[in-house]
Chain A
Amino acid sequence: MEHSRQLGYMKRSLFDQGYLDEQFYQLEELQDEASPNFVEEVVALFFKDSLRLMSNIDQALEKHPRDFHRLDSLMHQLKGSVSSIGALRMKNECTLFKEHCDEQNIEGCQRSFQKVKREHAALRQKLETYFQLLRQAGPAEKATRSGV
């Protein structure tokens, strides 16, 4: 019960604060008996893969001369998976980064990317907590949709 309430609260807050968007609901919709931990699996996959992508971007940002095309391309890849899990805030920062790339504004890119990383870290922390709660909660609670 308590878990359930906490879960509900947490989820609501994640949405309210813009960490997550509608897409996250879609993920939850896909979870069923066949894939009982689907959401958690996908999210885990995301965080792992995104580290790799972000590392690539870090390296590209250090390179001289700046290759904005590559930066944009790398970010495009990151953005794809970011939007797939519904990480809204992070996605917005990715968009800003791309804009800076278009403008060939390296400083803008660097600043923006810092934000991307921050959002990434923040979301990760929150979702880890969320899934922990979810695991602790019983099946009945897990089945509860957000907005409990």
Chain B
Amino acid sequence: MRDQFPVGMRVLAVDDDPTCLKLLEVLLLRCKYHVTTTNQAVTALKLLRENKDKFDLVISDVHMPDMDGFKLLELVGLEMDLPVIMLSANGETKAVMKGITHGACDYLLKPVRIEELKNIWQHVVRRRKFDRVDADDDYERLQGANCALGHCQVSDGSAELAGRSTRKRKDQIDEDDDDNNIDCENDNAQENEDQDPSSQKKARVVWSVELHRKFVAAVNQLGIDKAVPKKILDLMNVEKLTRENVATAFGVRDPSYLHMGALDGFSNYQSLAPASAHLPALTSFQPSGLLNRTNPARLGLPGLSPAGIVPVGCIQNNAISNPIDNLGNLSKFQCITENQHGNLLQGVPSTLELDQLQQSKRVQEANNGFPNGFSGNGLASASCSTPFINTTNNPLLSQSQTQLFQSRGLGSHSSMGFPLINSESSQGTLRVASSNLSFNHDNLSNIGNNFSTVSHIENNPISISASSLLGGSPYDSMAGRNLQNDSSFLGGNMIHSHVTIDEKPKILNFGAAGSFKQKTEELKQGLKNEANQVFSAFAGASQPTSHIIDPNPINRLEKSNINGNTDMGLFGQASISAPVLPPRYRIDNKPTTDGQLNFKDEFLLGSSRLQGGFTSNGCNFDDLVSSMIKPLAFVATHDVQSNFVRILEQERDDLMFVDGDIGCDFYPLGACI
């Protein structure tokens, strides 16, 4: 900035109306600014792109023939991160609102007065300062979290990205990234063009196994420190995939989402399902990892786990704000879990879920405060980063929880009904909750409704769609909302996967919807039991060898929990309120060394260990119980139903039901995007 700032501040003025443009030019000159004018938005963009450092501020009319002013606003904000002031003759509140929500730092009415223009320099100063601070905060947070997780390395890239804050890239960002991102940003902008403005930020990408694999491959190829979204995007070469999606996968958009750490959790998860080496397919997820901390090797994702670069699903860009939003994200997230895995996820949530798990684990580690379930810790990051089914230890769970639940939103929710994914092989009842990808964040009540069962559990990878997990309505403290949807518990939407359970699937019923409410107390009480049960259910579901939950708890759970509430659908067990995962998760019919499966922990968290995005790792039950209150375990919904049924049928009741507000607490089940 020049010494005489605001004198000489460089303004780019855009207005298709020559009269207005001339007037504006003279007004700005009178303010002693340096003015460049153009009557075309495309020209303006070109000028800006040529050298974004040439201007300090952009003033643009809203109504232009070649490009909508709001669009220009967005592009400028995204690409150049310059303050943009909108000008319009339309002073209606909704028009002004639109400007502001699109990122305008001010909205002036025509005819514009010189007094107003004399003050516009403030926006430049404000943005500079704010950006710096914001970025620093994000960065620090990210760094801290990552370091805690032992993934500092990974955080470098993401920190940088995170440092950008969700707002825009700052000039500080290195050129490379900027350049890389520009195109992507454009793509995003394009992509969003057709979308409803309110949902613009939601990526519609479903993070499938395939995508995940590509993502991982790209990251590995690039190397952690070079793995910037743009490059990854290029390598992945997926149509319609945006940089934002990729960035989200990193969790960068959501600094709190630590993401990488989660991967570790995954490995645990994976290990949980030791027996089967079925995890194979999931290159990137290691569901088992989540389950079993002691068996990190299981992590099926080559190179993934350590790096923790699991894309948590495509978290939407702005998922941060609202846990519910996260749910939405979850919906998009598909977690495909291999059946064999048995782990909660019934296999490996190949997609983000696993990552989630991992992440959640990490997050958990990093974030011990899981006070209301989730702290804002990265994983949970506001944006529900990916809910993942994370049955791993506590840390994971909490992580996932945090992940899933935005501290603000999730925390308040008690356990999330987490439908345990019961992959009963024979069950055709599980219907993938595919229908509900469009998770309506705001309407948590959808959870129950949205929960669609997953069918084909058998031998089908479980794809858990985050949304389904979240499904819908958040549960308030264990109360759990009624899962309207009979089949889907929690989130039927979320889980899309087919849980294949070789063995009798146990349905972990997390967060039994609805009916939990009344059973809050019971739940708490039963939490412990449930946790076990759930856990086992969870475990059981996936595969014969995996997750076998200690029969006792299960039985107990079964009895107590399986009420067969109709309203709950399969899952509606109020009893299950607490964390979904039973504390003990037995793999291969053996109690896990970890003490119960991390599920326990997770159960506490009420995370979804189940099938999909549930992370429960070794939390101890007590903790679990207490944490259940808030959080929710989110359960792979789709499978819930069938699982649920299975659970009922099972002797052991693995039902783990996490009652709670699923909505927000959804966890890392894969980011649902």
Interface residues of B in 394-422 (CB under 8 A from A): none
Query: Chain B 23-60 against A: per-residue CB contact (8 Å), 1 yes, 0 no?
Result: 10011011000000000000000000000000000000
Number of residues in B with C-beta < 8 Å to the partner? 20
Task: Check if A80 sits within 8 Å of B113, measured CB to CB.
Answer: no
Q: What is the bound-complex CA distance between A73 and B64, given in angstroms? A: 10
Residues of A within 8 A of B (CB): 23, 26-27, 29-30, 34-35, 38, 41-42, 45-46, 49-50, 73, 76-77, 79-81, 83-86
Residues of B within 8 A of A45 (CB): 18-19, 22
Task: Check if A42 sits within 8 Å of B111, measured CB to CB.
Answer: no
Contact partner of A41 among B22, B90, B114, CB < 8 A? B22
Contact partner of B89 among A41, A83, A85, CB < 8 A? A83
Task: Check if A73 sits within 8 Å of B20, measured CB to CB.
Answer: no
Would you call B127 an interface residue if the criterion is a C-beta within 8 Å of the partner chain's C-beta atoms? no
Task: Check if B110 sits within 8 Å of A26, measured CB to CB.
Answer: no
**Identity of the chain B residue whose Cβ is nearest the Cβ of A49 in the assembled complex:** B18
Min distance, Cβ B179 to any Cβ of chain A, angstroms: 36
Query: Taking chain A's interface residues, is the majority helix, strand, or loop, or is none over half, making it mixed?
Result: helix
Task: Check if B19 sits within 8 Å of A81, measured CB to CB.
Answer: yes
Residues of A within 8 A of B20 (CB): 80-81, 84
Contact partner of A84 among B23, B63, B90, CB < 8 A? B23
Asked whether A26 and B26 contact (CB < 8 A) given A49-B19, A76-B89, A80-B20, the answer is no
Contact partner of B27 among A30, A41, A77, CB < 8 A? A30
Min distance, Cβ A57 to any Cβ of chain B, angstroms: 14
Task: Check if B111 sits within 8 Å of A84, measured CB to CB.
Answer: yes
Asked whether A42 and B113 contact (CB < 8 A) given A76-B90, A80-B61, A80-B63, the answer is no
Task: Check if B110 sits within 8 Å of A80, measured CB to CB.
Answer: yes
Task: Check if A73 sits within 8 Å of B27, measured CB to CB.
Answer: no
Residues of B within 8 A of A35 (CB): 26
Task: Check if A30 sits within 8 Å of B26, measured CB to CB.
Answer: yes
Contact partner of B113 among A26, A46, A49, A85, CB < 8 A? A26
Min distance, Cβ B472 to any Cβ of chain A, angstroms: 37
Would you call B234 an interface residue if the criterion is a C-beta within 8 Å of the partner chain's C-beta atoms? no
Min distance, Cβ B471 to any Cβ of chain A, angstroms: 39
Residues of B within 8 A of A27 (CB): 23
Task: Check if B89 sits within 8 Å of A80, measured CB to CB.
Answer: yes
Q: What is the bound-complex CA distance between A80 and B111, given in angstroms? A: 7
Known contacts A30-B30, A76-B90; 13 additional CB pairs below 8 A are: A26-B114, A29-B114, A30-B27, A34-B29, A77-B16, A77-B63, A80-B61, A80-B110, A84-B19, A84-B20, A84-B23, A84-B111, A86-B111
Q: What is the bound-complex CA distance between A29 and B118, given in angstroms? A: 15
Residues of A within 8 A of B61 (CB): 80
Would you call B17 an interface residue if the criterion is a C-beta within 8 Å of the partner chain's C-beta atoms? yes
